[in-house]
Amino acid sequence: MSEIDEVKQKTDIVDVIGQSVTLTKSGRNFRALCPFHSETAPSFYVFPERQSWHCFGACNTGGDVFTFVMKQQGIEFGEALRLLAERTGVILPTRVVPDARKDERERLYQVNAAAATYFHEQLVSSPGAARARDYLLRRGFTSETAAAFQLGYGPNSWEALKQHLTEIGYSEKELLDGGLLVENDDGSTRDRFRNRLMFPIHDARSHTTGFGARVLDDSLPKYTNSPQTLVFDKSGTLYAIDLAAPSIRKQDRTVLVEGYMDVITAHQNGFTNVVASMGTSITERQVTTLKKLSRNIILALDADAAGKEAMRRCVDYENTLDTEVQVMLLPSGNDPDDVIQENPTTWRDLVEQAVPVLDYAFGMASTGLDFTRASDKSRVTDELLPLIARIKDSIRRDHYLTKLAILTGIRYNVLETAMQDRVVKSEPRKASRKSDAKPTTAILSRPVEEQCLSLLLQHPELKDYSEELLPEYFQNSQNREIFVTWKQSADLESLKERLDPAMWEQVDSLVSQELFTDKLEQRFPDYVRRLREDYHREIKSKEKESNIDLTRLQEQGLDSNTQLLEIFNQKARTNRSARDGSGTNT
């Protein structure tokens, strides 16, 4: 038995979910209001005998205890595994070098937290902070909001913070390493943040990693940040992610703005799923962080800023998220802070009116053009084809190519050829390295899943044909994690680098399995159909067990009977084709 299976065996899903969700007995199972979306009638069910859960409402998703912890806390599989292993007393293997700087990192978190406390106390009680307090009052911020965001004031002194922190046990070197001090040419040090309004910055786990600071006069620059340190990297940081995470998970939507004030105003007015990229162009690391909480991202853009480069970046974000990014356009010259202060209802309406980024790009590119003129057709094609070509999802790419063909009257095949000419040929994939480890015997709870994964790992060329294989078809959360990570990895080596060490043994076992490798073009689609069939059978079985009202689900297009019938018909057609083909050969 693997350590992962041991963790599962020693974990009761009812106990884990019951710690944060009020469960009510319903026959052999339990039900509750779904913790991941708002509802008035319970659609969230826990199945003790299966050790699984499922939301039959808006989420329409489910899984085992690992997937629940991952979704609830917005963490990866490896983190959920280690949390549950610690809870059950299972010791997991570790084949990586321990973080040699872990203690140093923890110390920097502590010194930053101590600085944040000091700055906040100065804002609340220091006579020298009167100007900072007046500024917050003019902006309409309440004392409760200032406390929630731990806003502070950096005294107009060269050494006030340094003196305070060294007196309570922190060294001058730790203050320098944390970016709280600046070293002068003569080797002396001084406080970095003087006479400024302070914004403590936290990571998703509420560690204080650094600070933003705003001047209280007309000097420039208006805003500054902590320098890059062991614990602070502006390119990977999202302001207020610790406060916004619960609402993002609950609403399944993130609204991304640029500045501290935008976020604070939004939260004070009840829009608590808002975070900020801190004035930087959003990075892939930030998108990856948000992806753990929700794949639905809305960018709040000033109409003047929503240009070609912004659209190109948005398509790249979509590829990372594997979903559409939406854009909400603010009145020209207005920040989110301005819009919300003037009328919160306007902000709410703008969020609801957000459109997919490429639909917006189509509208902007075609405004004022006459498509009876060849020059205008060429102009809009030159602007939109590069965006369409960047889309990795083939169905969405086809959708927008068709839309462009209809818009311009240019034949689809002509546009497709032009688009292909623009695509930069990617470098050949590195050959997968066979593992040197001896074959191991892993617990194969779902053999079809394991066989399908083995086929994919041993034949990386199948990645181009795996779009119809959805992550949810892997009902074993370990297999699902391996599949999702494989989709994002260039080869076996990078796959293992991305996975938790506790999963390496399973990967080695999958790579070592002996498989029939003939007729891959037929064998792989068959695996996809079988997994899809098992997935919908499982949902149908849970529907029967829970006695859930299926009328509502069918109205939402979630009728498992219809989906199963489609699968069976497809399977029957495939079997007939296979028999016909074999008869011809004999």
At 454-480, the pLDDT tens digits run: 888 888 888 877 888 888 888 888 888
- Percentage of the chain beyond pLDDT 90 is 39
Class of domain 3-88: alpha beta
Average pLDDT over residues 344-364: 92
Residue 319 has a pLDDT of: 72
Average pLDDT over residues 55-84: 86
239: DSSP letter: B
Residue 425 has a pLDDT of: 37
- Is residue 361 left, alpha or beta, with left meaning phi > 0 and alpha meaning psi from -120 to 50? alpha
Cα–chain center distance at 290:
4
Average pLDDT over residues 538-565: 59
**Tally of CB atoms within 10 A around 154:** 26
Query: 227, 237 in Cβ contact below 8 A?
Result: no
3-state helix, strand, coil split of the chain in percent (to 5) is 55, 10, 35
* 579 has a pLDDT exceeding 70: no
pLDDT band at 423 (very low <50, low <70, confident <90, very high): low
User: From residue 543, how far is each of 59, 335, 561 by CA, in Å?
Assistant: 15, 47, 11
Average pLDDT over residues 237-248: 95
Residue 435 has a pLDDT of: 28
pLDDT band at 280 (very low <50, low <70, confident <90, very high): low
Question: Tokens 């199972």 label which residue?
Answer: 29
Rounded to the nearest 10 degrees, how much is the dihedral formed by the CA atoms of 376, 379, 382, 388? -60
What token pair was written down for 562? 């219809």
Average pLDDT over residues 569-579: 51
User: From residue 449, how far is each of 71, 477, 545 by CA, in Å?
Assistant: 22, 11, 24
pLDDT band at 547 (very low <50, low <70, confident <90, very high): low
Residue 377 has a pLDDT of: 94
Q: Which of 22-31, 120-129, 179-188, 323-332 has the lowest mean pLDDT?
A: 323-332
| Amino acid letter, 156 | N
Residue 323 has a pLDDT of: 72
Q: Which fold has domain 241-357?
A: Dna Topoisomerase Vi A Subunit; Chain: A, domain 2 (3.40.1360)
Residue 339 has a pLDDT of: 95
Q: Which CATH architecture has domain 110-230?
A: Alpha-Beta Complex (3.90)
219: DSSP letter: -
Between CA 396 and CA 467 the distance in angstroms is 12
Residue 114 has a pLDDT of: 98
The average confidence (pLDDT) of the chain is 83
Q: Which of 119-133, 197-211, 541-555 has the lowest mean pLDDT?
A: 541-555
Give the angle 35-37-40 at the CA atoms, nearest 5°: 90
Residue 543 has a pLDDT of: 78
Range ranked top by mean pLDDT from 169-183, 386-400, 430-444: 169-183
Query: 5, 509 in Cβ contact below 8 A?
Result: no
**152-154: strand order across its sheet:** 152-154, 196-202, 208-215, 223-225
If one compares 519 and 271, the residue with the highest pLDDT of the two is 271
The length of the chain, given as a count of residues: 586
- For the chain, report the end-to-end CA distance as a whole number of angstroms: 46
Between CA 459 and CA 431 the distance in angstroms is 10
Residue 445 has a pLDDT of: 52
Tens-digit pLDDT profile for residues 129-152: 999 999 999 999 999 999 999 999
Q: Which of 12-21, 119-128, 130-139, 507-516 has the lowest mean pLDDT?
A: 507-516
Q: Is the peptide bond before 221 cis (omega within 30 degrees of 0)?
A: yes
DSSP per-residue letters across 25-89: EETTEEEE--TTS--SS--EEEETTTTEEEE-SSS-EEE-HHHHHHHHHT--HHHHHHHHHHHHT
Residue 433 has a pLDDT of: 30
Tens-digit pLDDT profile for residues 178-191: 999 999 888 899 99
Phi, psi values for residue 440, rounded to 5°: -115, 160
The domain limits of the chain are 3-88, 110-230, 241-357, 368-422, 447-576
**Which residues is 191 bridged to in the sheet?**
181
Between CA 39 and CA 41 the distance in angstroms is 6
Average pLDDT over residues 207-220: 93
